[in-house]
């Protein structure tokens, strides 16, 4: 169900819901397309779209969990039973997982850093667009975002980077407020302090 909360009220309370607190339903294909279309309206210096999406849905998420578990066992053969279940369920906690993949690289005009930041902004915009469509979301990376052995399984090329796996679904858990930084600790005023 689409949210009609006022933007300023939304921003005042916005929170992620952890992936392990998610459940069905997730967005259908047409809703996912709407979420990704809205999210793509992100600042992008040079209009080069240095990123792309991979959408993981359905039974393929089970396969991915098993393959990630096999990789995790290669690294640590004595994984506890609890961690085996954690690895297995990496892609099944949420009904839909969207990878935001950065294609940043050398460009005649646009610094690579700016291309990476656009991918980060895109991750957050996927969260906003999912929330606007009535779903909760969570931006995770986890070990396999940084392990190139996992890239072929995930459909990521060796010259790409994973900016985030955005988990999208529903929840029965309330969003609990968390501490936020004090402005005094994060803002430097240059003139006009009073
Ligand atoms: C780039 C990035 C990667 C993250 N990766 C993880 C992760 O792998 N595991 C985790 O528990 N949280 C991770 N987080 C934090 C979660 O997104 C967390 O739920 C979120 O920061 C909660 O804040 P919010 O409620 O204000 O959105 C990551 C955050 C960012 C920005």
Domain CATH for 149:
3.40.109.10
Whether residue 41 is annotated as binding a ligand: the answer is: yes
- Residue 139 known to bind ligand: yes
Is the distance from the beta carbon of residue 146 to the nearest atom of ligand 1 less than 6 Å?
Answer: no
Cα-based angle 44, 126, 164 (whole degrees, multiple of 5): 85
Split into its structural domains, the chain has a count of: 1
Q: Under DSSP, is residue 136 helix (H, G, I), strand (E, B) or coil?
A: strand
What confidence tier does 194 reach under pLDDT thresholds 50, 70, 90? confident
Pocket test for ligand 1, best of 97, 140, 176 (most atoms within 8 A of CB): 140
In a domain, 34, yes or no: yes
Q: Whose CA is nearest to atom 13 of ligand 1?
A: 140
Contact 25, 170 (CB under 8 A): yes
Residue 15 near ligand 1, beta carbon < 6 Å = yes
Residue 8: inside a domain: no
Ligand 1: centre distance to CA 63 (Å): 24
Signed CA dihedral, 105, 65, 144, 124: sign only: positive
Residue with tokens 């990496």: 90
Tell me whether residue 61 is in a domain.
no
ipTM value for the complex: 0.99
> Measured in angstroms, how far is the CA atom of residue 141 from the centroid of ligand 1?
8
pLDDT one-digit tens code per residue, 24-80: 999 999 999 999 999 999 999 999 999 999 999 999 999 999 999 999 999 999 999
- Alpha carbon of 139 to ligand 1 centroid (Å): 5
In a domain, 187, yes or no: no
140 ligand 1 Cβ < 6 A = yes
For residue 167, is it within any domain?
yes
Helix (H, G, I), strand (E, B) or coil at 114: helix
Quick check: CB of 164 below 6 Å from ligand 1? yes
Tell me, what DSSP letter sits at residue 112? H
Instruction: Determine, yes or no, domain membership for 119.
Output: yes
Supply the range of the domain harboring residue 111: 19-56+93-173
pLDDT in tens, 151-184: 999 999 999 999 999 999 999 999 999 999 999 9
Integer Cα distance of 153 and 104 in angstroms: 21
């Amino acid at each position: 169900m689409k949210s009609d909360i006022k933007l300023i009220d939304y921003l005042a309370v916005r929170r992620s819901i952890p992936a392990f607190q998610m459940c069905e339903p997730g967005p259908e294909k047409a809703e996912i397309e709407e979420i990704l279309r809205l999210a793509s309206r992100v600042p992008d210096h040079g209009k080069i779209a240095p990123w792309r999406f991979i959408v993981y849905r359905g039974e393929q998420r089970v396969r991915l969990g098993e393959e990630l578990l096999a990789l995790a066992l290669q690294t640590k053969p004595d994984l506890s039973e609890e961690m085996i279940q954690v690895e297995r369920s990496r892609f099944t906690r949420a009904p839909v997982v969207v990878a935001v993949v950065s294609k940043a690289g050398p460009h005649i005009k646009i610094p690579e850093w700016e291309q990476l930041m656009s991918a980060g902004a895109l991750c957050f915009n996927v969260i906003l667009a999912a929330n606007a469509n009535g779903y909760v979301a969570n931006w995770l990376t986890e070990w396999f975002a940084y392990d190139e052995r996992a890239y072929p399984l995930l459909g990521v090329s060796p010259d790409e980077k994973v900016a985030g796996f955005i988990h999208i679904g529903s929840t029965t858990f309330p969003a609990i407020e968390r501490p936020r930084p004090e402005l005094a600790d994060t803002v430097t005023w240059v003139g006009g302090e009073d």
